[in-house]
């Protein structure tokens, strides 16, 4: 089964590396967003902000057909976004405005996608249609599951060698590192891969729906009952204040706000308020509640989830980890780093294992060169791109057109440039220089942030702003880790073993 593990891991390996790398950062999506929107305050949504949001909508879109209010989670990072739709034929205009979650005042935060882009990239990729990306990720994730399961069989000594990590022994060390990264967080790897496939369930297996429902829409209507269809009555009636409506629905500012509120014909006697809870509990109910906007009474109780839906929801929750508090979130993150390292060491191991067997090491075969070059360009290139994404967030002028797009573009420009650079260099030099570039970029992030905003590491420490402190320290630690890796590669001297002896060694260890 070794060949299965090798090829199921290698061929989609670089996609998997990216999915794991960006997915790992996505556990801190909101924290990254907070750091990338330094103009936003730190507090969660306040009651005055809710009142201000409804007052704003009432002033801007009185008698609109619908109002929508998207609220940030308790972890912050996003503004309150209010949007409105005019009644068809009334000549009004639709609009969307961002409000400060603390004060409810309109804000002019820099235009950025924040941590959300890192999250979205891990399954929708970029510069390609989302459906194509999802097929690619689906296939890669399936291969990952195969690679993990066959890996447990192939590396049968993983439990006998559980505690072994021997450095300075060439191929043996890479195998140890691959095994340790894989086996220590094995429950996480299995869980995240399997539940990842579950998130793409309907892309992967649409037939359960197509065999039983006339259309996909019919399935969703049956699985997630839509709001009660209530026509506007034409009689004007005041909307209850939003905090009062939320209290009726069982939400309060301390225990967590809903994620999304939608109000149809808001100034009418027949207004309907739809409240979507945020996903902040493991297996928590995410079904919408429907309330009358005038009386606050419950129009339609959420139907209890069936066993299949409940299982599905728990799996999605396990995958996204939105329910996790700070401690559990760090555990998720560290396990994700382990998964990323497992893929990276596996990819490198492929070349290490084959280098000794090359007939002529000065002129390796095309396949070997391809894997080696992709390894350098992706494993060292993509993390550099992420660091540049953060740098671009601080350095691009606030007034730039399509600023958010340029932040994203700079991630890929930096990554692409580094990739091209490494192609032009001998392999070992390329590794050293790309890793050193990563180290420098990550070290620059807190420095540039301190120079361009008032929320650098030291002011944040004084203000006990642990999200900003944690972000900057994580950047420094990541930079240090890359510097360490670069130094390790630089001090590495390939042992001058004669060709035949090396071959025998390789054969003995495989």
Partner 1 sequence: MIHAATFLLSLGGFGLLLLAMQRHQQDWLGRKLPPIQGRALCLSGFAALALAFVAAGIGLGWGYGAVAWFGWLTVAAALAVMANTNRARIMRTVRP
User: Does 28 participate in binding partner 1 (rule CB under 8 A)?
Assistant: no
**Does residue 224 interact with partner 1 by CB under 8 A?**
no
Find the binder of partner 1 among 136, 334, 413, 427 (CB under 8 A). Answer: 334
Task: Pick the piece of the chain touching partner 1 (CB under 8 A) from 25-33, 158-166, 256-264, 358-366.
Answer: 158-166
Cβ within 8 Å of residue 481, ≥6 positions away:
none
Q: Does 167 bind partner 1 (CB under 8 A)?
A: yes
Under 8 Å between Cβ of 32 and 77:
yes
Our finding on whether 477 is near partner 1 (CB under 8 A) is: no
Least separation, in Å, of the C-beta of 477 and partner 1?
15
343 scored as a contact of partner 1 (CB under 8 A): no
Going by C-alpha positions, the residue among 315, 342, 318, 344 that lies closest to residue 331 is: 318
| Interaction residues for partner 1, span 274-303 (CB under 8 A) | 282-283
Contact between residue 174 and residue 348 where contact means Cβ atoms under 8 Å apart: yes
For residue 174, the minimal CB distance to partner 1 (Å) is 14
- Nearest by Cα to 343 from 11, 118, 3, 20: 20
Nearest to partner 1 of 83, 280 (CB atom): 280
Residues 61-88 as b or e (16 or more Cβ within 10 Å = b): beebbbbbbbbbbebbbbbbbbbbbbee
165 binds partner 1 (CB under 8 A): yes
Give yes or no for residue 307 binding partner 1 (CB under 8 A). no
Q: Answer yes or no: are the C-beta atoms of 482 and 344 closer than 8 Å.
A: no
Of 332 and 419, which CB lies nearer to partner 1 in the complex structure? Answer: 332
Instruction: Number of residues interacting with partner 1: please give it, by CB under 8 A.
Output: 26
Q: Taking every pair of C-alpha atoms in the chain, what is the biggest distance, in angstroms?
A: 92
The sign of the CA dihedral 502, 508, 509, 510 is positive
Interface residue with partner 1 among 187, 228, 306, 361 (CB under 8 A) is 187
Q: CB under 8 A: which stretch of 39-47, 180-188, 457-465, 466-474 binds partner 1?
A: 180-188
Is 312 a binder of partner 1 (CB under 8 A)?
no
Q: Using the rule CB under 8 A, is 168 a contact of partner 1?
A: no
Q: Which one of 81-89, 316-324, 385-393, 486-494 is the stretch in contact with partner 1 (CB under 8 A)?
A: 316-324
CB 372 within 8 A of CB 353: no
Q: Is residue 335 within the footprint of partner 1 (CB under 8 A)?
A: yes
| C-alpha 233 chain-centroid distance | 44
DSSP characters for 401-445?
Answer: TTHHHHHHHHHHHHHHHHHHHHHTS-HHHHHHHHHHHHHHHHHHH
Residue 20 or 332 with smaller CB distance to partner 1: 332
Q: Which tokens in the block code for residue 91? A: 């000549």
Residue 366 interacting with partner 1 (CB under 8 A)? no
Residues in CB range of 154: below 8 A, 6 or more apart: 1, 2, 4, 5
Between 26 and 180, name the residue whose CB sits nearer to partner 1: 180
Tell me the β-bridge partners of 239.
none
User: Which residue number, 71 or 342, has a Cβ lying nearer to partner 1?
Assistant: 342
Nearer to partner 1, 9 or 338 (CB): 338
DSSP β-ladder status, 289-292 and 80-85: unpaired
Residues in touch with partner 1 (CB under 8 A) = 160, 162-167, 180, 184-185, 187-188, 191, 282-283, 314, 318, 323-324, 327-328, 331-332, 334-335, 338
């Amino acid at each position: 089964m070794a060949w299965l593990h090798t090829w199921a891991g290698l061929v989609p390996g670089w996609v998997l590396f990216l999915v794991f790398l960006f997915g790992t950062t996505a556990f801190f999506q909101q924290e990254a967003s907070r750091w990338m929107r330094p103009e936003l305050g730190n507090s969660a949504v306040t009651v005055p902000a809710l009142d201000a949001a409804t007052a704003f909508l009432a002033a801007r879109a009185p008698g609109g057909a619908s109002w929508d209010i998207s609220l940030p989670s308790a972890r912050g990072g996003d503004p309150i976004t209010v949007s409105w739709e005019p009644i068809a034929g009334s000549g009004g205009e639709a609009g969307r405005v961002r409000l400060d979650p603390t004060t409810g005042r309109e804000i002019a935060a820099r235009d950025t996608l924040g941590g959300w882009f890192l999250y979205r990239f891990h399954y929708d990729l970029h510069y390609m249609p989302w459906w194509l990306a999802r097929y690619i990720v689906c296939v890669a994730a399936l291969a990952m599951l195969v690679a993990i399961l066959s890996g447990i069989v192939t590396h049968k000594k993983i439990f006998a060698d559980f505690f072994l990590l021997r450095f300075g022994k060439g191929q043996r060390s890479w195998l140890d590192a691959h095994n340790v990264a894989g086996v220590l967080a094995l429950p996480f790897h299995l869980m995240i891969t399997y539940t990842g496939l579950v998130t793409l369930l309907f892309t992967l297996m649409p037939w359960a729906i197509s065999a039983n429902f006339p259309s996909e829409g019919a399935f969703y209507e049956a699985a997630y009952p839509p709001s009660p269809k209530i026509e506007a009555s034409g009689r004007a009636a005041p909307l209850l204040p939003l905090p009062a409506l939320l209290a009726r629905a069982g939400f309060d500012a301390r225990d967590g706000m809903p994620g999304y509120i939608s109000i149809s014909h808001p100034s009418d006697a027949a207004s309907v308020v739809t409240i979507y809870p945020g996903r902040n509990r493991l297996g928590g109910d995410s079904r919408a509640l429907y309330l009358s906007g005038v009386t606050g009474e419950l129009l339609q109780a959420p139907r209890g989830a069936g066993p299949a839906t409940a299982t599905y929801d728990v799996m999605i929750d396990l995958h996204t980890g939105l329910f996790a508090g700070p401690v559990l979130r760090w555990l998720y993150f560290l396990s994700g780093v382990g998964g990323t390292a497992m893929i990276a060491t596996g990819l490198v191991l492929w070349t290490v294992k084959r280098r000794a067997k090359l007939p002529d090491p000065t002129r390796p075969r095309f396949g070997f060169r391809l894997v080696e070059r992709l390894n350098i360009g992706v494993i060292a290139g993509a993390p550099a791109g992420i660091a540049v994404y953060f740098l671009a967030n601080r350095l691009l002028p606030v007034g730039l057109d399509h600023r958010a797009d340029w932040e994203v573009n700079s991630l890929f420009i930096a990554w692409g440039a580094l990739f091209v650079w490494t192609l032009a260099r001998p392999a070992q030099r390329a590794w050293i220089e790309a890793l050193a570039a990563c180290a420098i970029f990550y070290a620059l992030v807190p420095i540039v942030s301190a120079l361009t905003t008032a929320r650098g590491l030291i002011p944040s420490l004084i203000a006990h702003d642990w999200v900003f402190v944690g972000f900057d320290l994580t950047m420094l630690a990541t930079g240090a880790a890359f510097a360490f890796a670069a130094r390790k590669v630089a001090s590495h001297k390939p042992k001058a073993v004669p060709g035949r002896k090396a071959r025998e060694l390789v054969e003995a260890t495989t």
